[in-house]
Amino acid sequence: MSHRVAIVGASGYTGGEALRLLANHPSVEVVAATSREYAGKPVSAVHLHLRSVLGSMKFSELNLEKIVSEAELVYLSVPSGVSQGMVRRILEAGLRVLDLSPDFRLKEPRLYEEWYGFTHRDPELLAESIYGLPEIHREEIRRARLVACPGCNATAAILALAPVAREGLIDLDHVAVDVKVGSSEAGRQPDQGTHHPERANVIRPYEAAGHRHVAEVEQELSLLCGRRVRVAMVPHAVGNVRGALATAHVWLTDTLDETTVWRAYAKHYGREPFIRIVRAGPVKYPDPKYIIGSNFCDVGFAVEPSRGRAALFAAIDNLMKGAAGQAVQCMNIMLGLDEREGLNYFPVSPV
Ligand SMILES: NC(=O)c1ccc[n+]([C@@H]2O[C@H](COP(=O)([O-])OP(=O)(O)OC[C@H]3O[C@@H](n4cnc5c(N)ncnc54)[C@H](OP(=O)(O)O)[C@@H]3O)[C@@H](O)[C@H]2O)c1
């Protein structure tokens, strides 16, 4: 049986990645791919890599009433502030939603004022939405009507930290995360900072104080640990198009060796279909180069017992495990499908 899916914001990067994945998903049919700018034009006119893949599929106008009459599940691949005006109508019509934007990630409405600078238009729905990180919320995702897919930097940061935080191995008051991320995280529309000549070859810190993903990282780690967790996070724009690497600097609560830290990762991630623990080989730590095009998250660590510190790493493809791949993984869980369905892509190498 095919599930009928609509993608709103399908001309963007995460929408395009969702189209690529769903075109090859055995249990899904894409019934609408919206773009206000390109409505009526072939999808392959924007997503050149999808030439001949989607037949004659064209972008459609953004008509919410048409979408709710045709689809059963909707991906919202739109900028922040947009989906909060759409989700209630979609849910009322009996559909389910995967929101890739930040609009439903935070539980407390006041956090949107603090971190995003807007008053949330539908705060009641925040209580219902489920943070779409299967490694932490799998059972809640299964039953959810509304899944808020995590930010890419947040996905990498949380997956690097979650096992050791949960096991009480680190000082939760002093966690510093550095994320390096490629240009596709900024979306399709170029601006002064993201336009190729400005962005190529950079290693540029941005939003070094107050990056928005800090709010969701703190929220999720605090929920996991049952106490408030504070995180200092600095993202860096790098020249790659895809890929994000989180490096978390942590201080240990006891004299711990590498085996203890490894056990924490093995305990929480040993059965995870998309997490690989990297420990050995010529490249000893995770590097996004080896996961591009896949939904994998490679995690790894280095421990310095004499200094009581460790560095924890997580590498993802920001458009896959950091966005559309994770959304498809959540959709599979919501629909009772095998979590790996339509996601059986191995990394491309060399890239
Ligand atoms: N890029 C990443 O790595 C990444 C990772 C995780 C999460 N996210 C989040 O995912 C969302 C989409 O990101 P993206 O990178 O795909 O952005 P993008 O490339 O800029 O695409 C955004 C899409 O939304 C549509 N859109 C813009 N304003 C709209 C509006 N007011 N109403 C309806 N549609 C509108 C645009 O198409 P039309 O203007 O033609 O309609 C476009 O297709 C963002 O909230 C972003 O924060 C991105």
The better pLDDT of the pair 255, 204 is held by 204
Query: Given this model, what pLDDT does residue 190 score?
Result: 86
Nearest atom in ligand 1 to 79's CA: 45
Q: What is the pLDDT of residues 272-301, one digit of tens each?
A: 999 999 998 999 999 999 999 999 999 999
Q: Residue 185: CB within 6 Å of ligand 1?
A: yes
DSSP characters over 175-237:
EEEEEEE-GGGG-SS--TTTSHHHHTT-EEE-STTT-THHHHHHHHHHHHHTS---EEEEEEE
What is the whole-number distance in angstroms between the Cα of residue 187 and the centre of ligand 1?
Answer: 6
Q: What is the pLDDT of residues 30-77, one digit of tens each?
A: 999 999 999 999 999 999 999 999 888 999 999 999 999 999 999 999
Q: What is the pLDDT of residues 194-243, one digit of tens each?
A: 888 888 999 999 999 999 999 999 999 999 999 999 999 999 999 999 99
pLDDT band at 191 (very low <50, low <70, confident <90, very high): confident
Are 317 and 351 in contact by the 8 Å Cβ rule? The answer is no
The three-class DSSP label of residue 348 is coil
Given a cut of 80, whether residue 258 has pLDDT beyond it is yes
Nearest CA owner, ligand 1 atom 2: 185
Q: Residue 13: CB within 6 Å of ligand 1?
A: yes
pTM for this one? 0.98
Q: Residue 62: CB within 6 Å of ligand 1?
A: yes
The three-class DSSP label of residue 73 is strand
Nearest CA owner, ligand 1 atom 17: 187
Given a cut of 80, whether residue 1 has pLDDT beyond it is no
Residue 201, Cβ neighbours under 10 Å: how many?
8
> What structural domains does the chain harbor?
3-128 (3.40.50.720), 153-318 (3.30.360.10)
> CA-CA distance, 167 to 215, in Å (whole number)?
22
Q: In the predicted model, what is the mean pLDDT of residues 177-195?
A: 92
Q: Which residues are catalytic?
A: 152
What is the whole-number distance in angstroms between the Cα of residue 326 and the centre of ligand 1?
Answer: 16
> CA-CA distance, 75 to 77, in Å (whole number)?
6
What is the whole-number distance in angstroms between the Cα of residue 18 and the centre of ligand 1?
Answer: 12
Nearest CA owner, ligand 1 atom 4: 185
Helices (H) and strands (E) in the chain, counts: 12, 13
Given a cut of 90, whether residue 192 has pLDDT beyond it is no
Starting at the edge strand that comes first in sequence, how are the strands of the sheet with 275-277 ordered? 203-205, 231-238, 170-181, 244-252, 309-316, 297-304, 275-277
Query: Given this model, what pLDDT does residue 254 score?
Result: 87
Query: Given this model, what pLDDT does residue 196 score?
Result: 86
